[in-house]
Chains A and B, each alone.
Chain A
């Protein structure tokens, strides 16, 4: 296979991957964030303590997380058809990808939100804030650096899952690597895909880490712009309690 033959294939595959991962990440965040916050709120000693609800949500999340993605995709075919009208293609792959990622992201959100100091919740309550105020003004903004890191982890996991979406004809980089690279012995093409995946994942990880760190820095230590900090690292004041 020549580069001219490979180029349009790879281009299309990149767009397919971005399309699937982008939409499913968006849905996972929209669905997983409230679910993760609810897991914390309904837990023992939480603001909306409800042991039954907590157990039910926790179990659903655990079952969905322990399901191998390829099985989840097959199991959800009926549901997928009822939403997208088809079980084949990019749109159809987004449904199982999102549903697989929601519980994954919800658990990460739960861990991040649990880290928030209970004293802050108490402070907002003492000002007359209700549970919704606590979520909006404390739990989410205070755990934002961790939430961004969690989103990065979810995107990277979804890129991995999306390789399997090829089995329903959704395309994407993983699909090309399997169909052309493995099944048609186009080893070159496979290595190129692997390289692209590695670069994409590194870029996403870097961007996510940068965003999380610059938010954290604001709350963590003093200091001007990030670039200057490298020079003034020793003079940056440490966090005092």
Chain B
């Protein structure tokens, strides 16, 4: 639904004294239709530039952006002003913002009607659609209120209703929950998830909060210094040994009790979760296993278990038991050892 290839954005700002800042460095992103795709990264990683390049609020220096089969970069033309075709394409892409960006001079309903005014819809049609959307986001009773009279969560609901006014197939969410408290964040994420399911909406969101990815994303990508260093569906990521995203999504803790011991992270998902592997391991190899930490959680709708265990002796002494665990179809990460598959672009 959204594809970027070789997307590059270089800022040449005067305030950096002629130095160039590369915000995006050849980003290839592929968001499938109907999924919730999260891009996570620290501030300055280029997430904001990425999402702004998708609807060309920022002009990429190089690369292409395709949304719903339409090459937006080809529509952009020269110069900073957006032509008619690009504006039409933008009206089919909804966007929600961190600071809501509601017009304080308009009522909630008038804010939701704004995109419809731009599309040239009649007054009757606008108010029908706006009330319908406000009902959808649970704010039907606030239609005549002004944004200043709403809480942060309510403002974001208005922002979402407004983004949906043009019946978009794609919704871009720029840190939509970063200005909200945890409770409100959950309810907004739930709303986004519901909309994704009910309307078949494709959602591309950027965030710096791992919880956001964990609770609603089908796929995720990790950005560092303008590049995507890891990406895939959540289950693919969890199955990738040494995946930074996977361990951040589902952390297990526990320190080694002794330097001469081997720490192993075991991730269970799917079939393997039902096998009594730990007791089999202890019986077969006659090893004493200590469990340092363990958790079962739902990540991206999947039941995943993760356990950090400690085996006596160094890694060299434990090659056979670790091999046994791998044979059981479990994903094994040995701490302090290079993962089997090197991640692309890792440090």
Could you tell me which A residues sit within 8 Å of B by CB distance? 47-49, 117, 119-120, 122-131, 133, 137-138, 141-142, 144, 215, 218-222, 237, 239-241
Contact = CB atoms under 8 A, between A and B. Distances in A.
A137 B117 contact: yes
A239 B57 contact: no
10 contacts: A48-B81, A119-B97, A123-B97, A126-B90, A126-B93, A127-B90, A127-B91, A137-B114, A218-B105, A220-B104
A123 B160 CA distance: 12
Nearest to B105: A141
A240 B153 CA distance: 11
Interface in B164-179: 166, 172, 179
Contacts of A127: 90-91, 114-115, 118, 162, 166
B199 interface: no
B303 to A, nearest CB: 37
B148 A219 contact: yes
B87 interface: yes
Interface in B137-195: 145-152, 162, 166, 172, 179
B90 A138 contact: no
A149 B99 CA distance: 27
A47 to B, nearest CB: 7
B120 to A, nearest CB: 11
A138 B172 CA distance: 21
Interface in B63-109: 80-82, 87-91, 93, 95, 97, 99, 101, 103-106
Contact of A122 (B80, B101, B115): B101
Contacts of B162: 127
B55 interface: yes
A221 B148 contact: yes
Given A47-B81, A222-B146, A128 B91 contact: yes
Nearest to B52: A122
A122 B57 contact: yes
B119 interface: yes
B148 A222 contact: yes
A241 B179 contact: yes
A219 to B, nearest CB: 4
A128 B90 contact: yes
Nearest to A130: B87
Nearest to A237: B149
Given A119-B97, A122-B57, A127-B91, 19 more contacts: A119-B99, A123-B95, A123-B97, A124-B114, A125-B82, A127-B166, A128-B90, A128-B115, A137-B114, A137-B117, A141-B103, A142-B105, A144-B105, A218-B146, A219-B104, A219-B147, A220-B104, A222-B148, A241-B152
B88 A128 contact: yes
Nearest to A120: B101
B148 A124 contact: no
Contacts of A130: 81-82, 87
Given A137-B117, A239-B148, A240-B151, A119 B101 contact: yes
A128 B119 contact: yes
Contacts of A49: 80
Contacts of B145: 222
Nearest to A117: B101
B142 to A, nearest CB: 11
A142 B104 contact: yes
A44 to B, nearest CB: 8
Contacts of B55: 126
Nearest to A141: B105
Contacts of A241: 99, 152, 179
A119 B106 CA distance: 16
B51 to A, nearest CB: 10
A29 B340 CA distance: 71
B104 A126 contact: no
Contacts of A218: 105, 146
Contacts of A137: 103, 114, 117-118
A144 B105 CA distance: 9
B95 A126 contact: yes
Contacts of A123: 95, 97, 101
Contacts of A219: 104-105, 146-148
B123 to A, nearest CB: 15
B26 to A, nearest CB: 25
Given A47-B81, A141-B105, A141-B106, A128 B118 contact: yes
B118 A142 contact: no
A129 B57 CA distance: 12
B169 to A, nearest CB: 14
Which 8 pairs show the lowest CB-CB distances between chains A and B?
Answer: A128-B91, A219-B104, A123-B101, A222-B149, A127-B115, A128-B87, A126-B95, A119-B101
Interface string B213-241: 00000000000000000000000000000
Given A47-B81, A125-B82, A126-B90, A133 B118 contact: yes
A194 to B, nearest CB: 39
B73 to A, nearest CB: 16
